Chain A
């Protein structure tokens, strides 16, 4: 399943990513992040709790989004995949220490 946006009460945009996040759908994620950032929405939460596979192409899209948000005074925060295997790419690249990581469930809108 691809990204679907939600808007949290604190005005941060939440993008929920489920299933496989790889080089096939990374361009769509990149475009979606770009749309938000160019619209001035630079506080973004990407909730990947239900992602079951993440490759470096998806990671690169997130890193680019994070950098652009931070350049504009915001941030891109992550809820890491609950599936340890899917979260592996963040650990191997040490980006789990670069992103602001939120606990699963915190990003969801009630």
Chain B
């Protein structure tokens, strides 16, 4: 199994490293969670783009502009913890994404909310910590 954690530079091109790492880990974690690859890749892409553009958007030079991602198999799916050292997210950020209507801005978090079973944000010291859980769809 590939390493359950990766650190990528906080730029849009480097985010393309996340997908191959994710899929490799999921395949090794078993057939059941491998099906989460596509929705997880989209969800992590949306979150990480948000981190690059907003958390690190107007950050002082010298800050460790990287994003840490860690995966863990949970009872009914996969949990991913995403950490960055950028600016804090606005407190009402998660309330802005309304999944019930098409909108010009805020697609990313709207999508992320729909893809995740749970989505939690906290500011821990100088870190933003996002915890995402993805559930394996129940067998029909």
Contacts and interface: CB of A to CB of B under 8 A. Distances in A.
Interface stretch (A20-28, A38-46, A71-79): A20-28
Interface stretch (A8-16, A87-95, A101-109): A87-95
Contact of B12 (A24, A53, A89, A92): A24
Interface residues of A, number: 21
Nearest to B41: A53
Interface residues of B, number: 23
A94 B108 CA distance: 13
Summarize A's interface: helix, strand, loop or mixed. helix
Nearest to A52: B38
Contacts of A93: 102, 107, 110-111
B115 A92 contact: yes
Interface of B: 12-13, 15-16, 19, 38-39, 41-42, 45-46, 49, 52, 99, 101-102, 104, 107-108, 110-111, 114-115
Interface of A: 20, 22-24, 53, 55-57, 59-60, 63-64, 85, 88-89, 92-95, 97-98
